[in-house]
Structure 1
Amino acid sequence: MELSIALPFIAADVPSALPTNAEIEASKDVIAVTGGRRVVRVGTHFVVKYGLGVTILEGENMLFVRSTTTIPIPKVYALYTETDTKKNYIVMENIEGHTLAYKWPSLTESQKKAIATKLKLCFDELRQLPSPGYFGSLGKRPLLDDIFWTSQKKSSINGPFENEDAVNEAMAQKYTFEVYGRTNYVADFYRQALPHVLCGHAPTLTHADFQRKNIIVQVVPPKVGLWNDCQHQPNGIRDAPPRDGLWTAKRPVEEEFKVTIIDWEKAGWYPSYWEYGTALYAVGRWDDDWGLFLRDMLSPYYSEARWLQTLRFELWS
């Protein structure tokens, strides 16, 4: 299934007048600034991602995922390119909350497990979408993971790819492409090895940048605690429940959270191991237990992840 979007795109359910480019540029509520990309909040309704480094494809990915799944992601209200500056703009729903990266250290074990369960449902649904029969971005375009990026267009590295052998060849080529001082020996080793260890994986719709910074969590208002006949007053005498069946004693109620997945720029149809492999690589220095929870959210591919991790380390070391 593909998605055809006429640009500029404006949604039918915009909650108020869209911000002008001048209002966007003037916003002081800056969320992020990286490599030709700027993310700002404008008013109460909108977050805008814009710049020369922003791809229209990210907005198209979001529209596609919202139209084909129930995965919680921000609504896209507008998608366009400014003619004079060539900057791309994605105007989307403002999601209140904090990143999971910010909240994780303060979560209890049960809260972490509950969030992991919700995220697993999201990724299970994403992975169930039918394969388009190629490895590539929406509309059979190049993949945007950094492994497939080149400064000049080279389709044998950028994609799209007809089969997994072509994906493996692209990764081998990337090792020496535009990098001086590297011999071809390692690339040739990857050509020998990858067809044996990275094989038999179907094109699978993949977020491709699953990190805690790309998950927004919102606190769900707690419900009044229901009566539990195992609970006692401090003096050890068990109370009868009040007539309405609600427990009225003051006791801490553990927060519950709603999750929203953001940053869909790199999404596309990758080999089925890619989501777990890239998420494991992004764990970094293993400063906490996040990496141990990945298997509870994503289908684990331990061997493939190690090969992908080694390749990334060698590419950027």
Structure 2
Amino acid sequence: MSTKSAPKVAPTRPWFRDGNELPAPLPTRVQIETATTEYPSIYNASSRRTVLVNQKFVVKYGPAVFENEGHALLLVESYPHIPAPRLYAMYWEEGKLFIIMEFIAGLRLSDVWQHLSEEEKSTIVDQLRLAFEILRSIPSPGIFGGIFGGPLPHRYFFSLDNEHEVTGPFSAEEDLCRALVLRSARNWESWDRRGWMTDFFARPLPLTLRGHDSVLTHSDFQRKNILIREDYFPSTNPG
């Protein structure tokens, strides 16, 4: 299943792939920040951007980019049946994290789904199911947190004050549930209100989220984040 040993610890920063494995010299900061092809994002451009540079690199950068994204790419690279771009570089510069990745040409599944036959959809679903089975079989570090430890990199566990009780990592699901409740309470307190979501988290979650092991997974798995090669199916041309 794996062609090489998966990394066990976080890489040192800055991290750069050997130049012999790159499709071209890495883009400069000027090339990155002046790139005109930008991918859609729910984030404000001042906090996070994802751009295409020189038709060879996809660069995600900004103060709201997580190192965990680069760590995940390095980890799954050892599992060829998990389709993902290769990480080319990851470094901090003036308070911004830069993650430079392989550009893979393709169409978003959300754009072509309606044009696919049922057989084509089933083929894609089968491949995604296999990828997730492999992803979730990767040995867990035994915590609910980042790839190589550290805080759980998700907005539901974000804390401006870096409260460990909110950010994790968590050794048990009970701690994970408490963090969700505390994070929700902190959010509503900032609005000087008591939110119904806090009460919801506090009641049923501790009863349902227990007795499970931590597994590696994808936190934003939806059609718009899945690429289909343009020549994969003849019917994937939306036009």
Answer yes or no: same fold by TM over 0.5: yes
Q: 1:145 aligns with which of 148, 154, 169?
A: 154
Aligned twin of 1:159: 168
Aligned twin of 1:111: 120
User: 3-state SS of the aligned residue for 1:178?
Assistant: helix
Letter in 2 for 1:10: F
Relative to 1, partners in 2 of residues 1:154 and 1:19: Cα closer, same or farther, differing over 3 Å? Answer: same
Deviations 1:159-180 (CA, angstroms, capped at 9, x unpaired): 1111111111112222311313
Letter in 1 for 2:150: R
Aligned twin of 2:3: none
Q: Percent identity?
A: 35
Relative to 1, partners in 2 of residues 1:186 and 1:72: Cα closer, same or farther, differing over 3 Å? Answer: closer
1:186 to partner: Cα distance? 6.8
User: 3-state SS of the aligned residue for 1:64?
Assistant: helix
* Counterpart-to-counterpart distance in 2, 1:186 and 1:37: 27
Aligned twin of 2:92: 81
Aligned twin of 1:98: 107
Q: 1:70 aligns with which of 59, 72, 81?
A: 81
Tell me if the contact between 2:110 and 2:224 (Cα under 8 Å) persists in the aligned partners: yes
1:218 to partner: Cα distance? 0.5
Tell me if the contact between 2:115 and 2:236 (Cα under 8 Å) persists in the aligned partners: no
Deviations 1:24-78 (CA, angstroms, capped at 9, x unpaired): 1222222235331111111132111112222222112211121355311001111
Deviations 1:254-300 (CA, angstroms, capped at 9, x unpaired): 5589xxxxxxxxxxxxxxxxxxxxxxxxxxxxxxxxxxxxxxxxxxx
Q: 1:218 aligns with which of 225, 229, 238?
A: 229
Q: Which runs of 5+ in 1 are unaligned?
A: 223-253, 258-317
State the TM-score, normalizing by the size of structure 2: 0.84
Aligned twin of 1:170: 179
Q: 1:7 aligns with which of 2, 13, 17?
A: 13
Q: 1:122 aligns with which of 131, 141, 150?
A: 131
Deviations 1:214-270 (CA, angstroms, capped at 9, x unpaired): 111113467xxxxxxxxxxxxxxxxxxxxxxxxxxxxxxx5589xxxxxxxxxxxxx
Mapped pair 1:18 → 2:29 = no
1:119 to partner: Cα distance? 0.5
* Counterpart-to-counterpart distance in 2, 1:158 and 1:10: 28
Letter in 1 for 2:132: F
1:196 to partner: Cα distance? 2.1
Aligned twin of 2:218: 207
Please identify the structure whose Cα radius of gyration is greater: 1
State the TM-score, normalizing by the size of structure 1: 0.65
1:96 to partner: Cα distance? 0.3
Tell me if the contact between 1:97 and 1:216 (Cα under 8 Å) persists in the aligned partners: yes
Tell me if the contact between 2:150 and 2:168 (Cα under 8 Å) persists in the aligned partners: yes
* Counterpart-to-counterpart distance in 1, 2:66 and 2:183: 22
* Counterpart-to-counterpart distance in 2, 1:178 and 1:43: 41
Q: How many positions carry a matched residue from both structures?
A: 224
Tell me if the contact between 1:32 and 1:40 (Cα under 8 Å) persists in the aligned partners: no
Tell me if the contact between 1:135 and 1:160 (Cα under 8 Å) persists in the aligned partners: yes
Letter in 1 for 2:106: G
C-alpha RMSD of the superposition:
2.3
* Counterpart-to-counterpart distance in 1, 2:194 and 2:81: 47
* Counterpart-to-counterpart distance in 1, 2:123 and 2:64: 35
